[in-house]
Structure 1
Amino acid sequence: MANELDEMTGSVNEAGRDINVIEKQLPVKIGFGSTLFEIMLWVLGVVPGLIFLFMKIGARNYFRKLQQKIQADASQIDNFLEQRVQILRNVVPLVERAIDLDKDVMKAVAAYRGGAQTSDSQRNAVSNNLDRAFGRLFPQVEAYPDLKAHAAIADAMKQNSYLQKEITAARALYNDTVNMWNSDIFSWPTKMIVAAREGYTTRIPFTASAQIKAEARSTFF
């Protein structure tokens, strides 16, 4: 029997294809079949009904713990973003005295003068804005060897590089947990029934903006 998907002889899209994360939360819904399933368990006897009841309690507790993990993962991203904001706020005044900075960099500093206030809906935007601000700031620093040699600026560049790696790792961890949530809420019967009755929906993973994607495809060297 031949492989359904054959990477050697199958059709290929020569132009390639870009992908995007769909910004949509799907609610969990169950039909009458799930209700009938629960009724039948009780009809079969008290023991099957009680077993499933305890399974639902376990599933509910599991989801609560998973939500706490998602919050902890998101908080870790926020922590790293806050540190990047602080670096930006500290470095810009040093650089500004020597050169005329890009207006977009100054706007970013002004926007985060009070720190990075993030929510689930804002976290992605804050991260992308910081990437753009640093992407404009440090190339300007690179053009001035004397500035680059400044101890505080050199240290800030190293810290920013380190934090970028940490944010990437934290995003991956967050997305893994979100993927676990999105998968488990549709795991029938126990988890899906509990998720539907609790009104749970899928969660949207961390994504890159269209501008960041475009910049990633540009020539760096």
Structure 2
Amino acid sequence: MANDLDEVTGAINESGRDVNVINKQISVQIGSGTLAFEIALWTILPAIGALALLTDALPRTYGLGLLVLGAVPGLIFQFMKVFALAYLRKLQQKIQADASQIDNYLEQRVVVLNNVVGLVAKAIDLDKDVMKTVAAYRSGHNADAERNQASQKIDGIFSRISLACEAYPDLKAQAVIADAMRQNSYLQKEITAARTLYNDTVGMWNQDIFAWPTKQIVAARAGYTTRIPFTASAETKAAARSVFF
């Protein structure tokens, strides 16, 4: 049988195709079949036991056993849902922790920026809103969007500082500025790693909330939705396609 997607003889898109993250959260839903499944766990064995007692189809002890112990599958499933809810809540906290790690690195970059900007104040104007933006997203207001915006602003300012240093050899020669730029490079790598970890955790969340039956049932009744991973801006993508060398 041939592969559905044949990379050897299949059609090829010569012009290429860009990939974008869809900015949409998908809610978890369950249907009537899931409700019927849950009811069946509680009722099928007791119903069989009651029917056996009425018709004498099974020995009386067997019928009583089914009637008394028939709710065990339902109880077990209830405990499974409790554990599933605890797991999803724990995973939700991990997403928050991973996002906070990105915030911490961004804030460190702002500290580095504030330390160096005085030395280049005559060559560049500091964006006064950067620290306000960092403070805003740390308070939880539209965190993901503002996190991306703050990161892009900081990237832009450091780029301007680099250009200013190139234009002013005296600035470039200062050890404090050189050290600040090294710290910035290190922190940018850490932010990239932290974003990857964040996206991995978001990916786990987006898969697990649709894991039927327990996690999907719990997620649907809790009103959970998928989460949007970190996305680069259109400006960043355009810059990445530029010719650097």
TM-score by length of 1: 0.92
1:149 paired with 2:173, answer: yes
Contact 1:185 1:192 in 2 (8 A): yes
1:191 paired with 2:215, answer: yes
Shift of 1:114: 4.6
Select 1:112's aligned residue among 114, 127, 130.
Answer: 130
CA distance 1:115–1:25, change in 2 (3 Å): closer
The 2-side partners of 1:193 and 1:139 are apart by 55
Name the SS of the counterpart of 1:122 in structure 2: helix
Contact 2:98 2:194 in 1 (8 A): yes
**Whose RCO is larger (CA < 8 A, sep 6+)?**
1
Q: How does 1:2-17 map to 2 (within 5 A)?
A: 2-17=2-17
Provide the residue aligned with 2:35 in structure 1: 35
The 1-side partners of 2:160 and 2:212 are apart by 49
The 2-side partners of 1:114 and 1:150 are apart by 28
Q: How does 1:20-31 map to 2 (within 5 A)?
A: 20-31=20-31
CA distance 1:208–1:154, change in 2 (3 Å): same
1:52 paired with 2:80, answer: no
Provide the residue aligned with 1:71 in structure 2: 96
Contact 1:38 1:49 in 2 (8 A): yes
- Structure 1, unpaired ranges of 5+: none
The 2-side partners of 1:94 and 1:71 are apart by 36
Name the SS of the counterpart of 2:145 in structure 1: coil
Number of aligned residues: 214
CA deviation map 1:54-89 (0-9, x unaligned): 000000000110011011100100000001111222
Name the SS of the counterpart of 1:63 in structure 2: helix
Shift of 1:134: 1.7
The 2-side partners of 1:208 and 1:115 are apart by 18
Name the amino acid aligned to 1:85: V
Percent identical across equivalent pairs? 65
The 2-side partners of 1:137 and 1:206 are apart by 26
Provide the residue aligned with 1:203 in structure 2: 227
Name the amino acid aligned to 1:116: V
The 2-side partners of 1:52 and 1:62 are apart by 15
Contact 2:130 2:154 in 1 (8 A): no
Provide the residue aligned with 2:197 in structure 1: 173
Shift of 1:50: 0.8
Shift of 1:8: 2.1
CA deviation map 1:27-69 (0-9, x unaligned): 1111111100100111132111011000000000001100110
RMSD of aligned alpha carbons: 1.4
Q: How does 1:85-164 map to 2 (within 5 A)?
A: 85-97=110-122, 99=123, 101=124, 106=126, 108=127, 110-114=128-132, 116-117=134-135, 118=137, 119-164=143-188
CA distance 1:48–1:129, change in 2 (3 Å): same
Q: Which structure is larger by alpha-carbon Rg, 1 or 2?
A: 2
Contact 1:128 1:208 in 2 (8 A): no
1:215 paired with 2:239, answer: yes
TM-score by length of 2: 0.83
- Structure 2, unpaired ranges of 5+: 45-69, 138-142
